[in-house]
Amino acid sequence: MTVSTLKTLMQHFPHDGVVVWIGLRPQRGAAMLSVQQAHAEPITGLEGDRYQGTSGKREITLIQWEHLAVLSAFVGNTVEPEWLRRNIVVKGINLLALKDQRFGVGGAILQSTGLCHPCSKMETVLGAGGYNAMRGHGGLTAKVLQAGRIQIGDTVSVIGNG
């Protein structure tokens, strides 16, 4: 397989994804707030989230809905989206394939900035071994390229390489 063919293959997705959950972290250590919609802004991320532009790479965090079942199997208990402290849960598209891509989520355009690795809180939240259960299933970090509203049911679609 040639490089150009592989590059082409990496731009094709069976279908778009969909937003199934949105959460905001109002302050450090506070419980996540589940919301129906949020407004994304460059630099500050989601309005109402505690991020406020501290690193430039983690304006929004996303995790894949299908991975919640995997995590539940690993820890032996149903895992709820708010426990994982990610902002957006997406269903129907492989988030890892969005690494190094620009993608639309509702009215916003995001750029993936890397993998979202678990933190030590997962050991407390998910129980013993929770940190290792999350490894490889933590989702992506992204920055906002274009402001816009994101709501439950919105489409997640690939725009292309960043």
Domains within the chain, CATH numbers bracketed:
3-161 (2.40.33.20)
pLDDT greater than 80 at residue 7: no
14-18, 19-23, 106-110: lowest mean pLDDT where? 14-18
The three state secondary structure string of 121-162 is HHHHHHCCCHHHHHCCCCCEEEEEEECEEEECCCEEEEEEEC
pLDDT of residue 2: 56
Residues 6 or more apart whose Cβ sits within 8 Å of residue 147: 39, 40, 41, 42, 107, 108
pTM score of the predicted model: 0.90
Give the tokens for residue 159.
């725009």
The pair phi, psi for residue 42, each rounded to 5°, is -55, 145
| Cα–Cα distance measured from residue 135 to residue 139, given in angstroms and rounded to the nearest whole number | 10
| Cα–Cα distance measured from residue 46 to residue 37, given in angstroms and rounded to the nearest whole number | 10
* β-strand pairing of 108-115 with 101-105: antiparallel
Residue 130 binned pLDDT confidence (cut-offs 50, 70, 90): very high
User: For residue range 19-74, what is the model confidence (pLDDT) as tens digits?
Assistant: 999 999 988 888 899 999 999 999 999 999 987 666 667 899 999 999 999 999 99
User: For residue range 141-150, what is the model confidence (pLDDT) as tens digits?
Assistant: 999 999 999 9
User: For residue range 72-102, what is the model confidence (pLDDT) as tens digits?
Assistant: 999 999 999 999 999 999 999 999 999 888 9
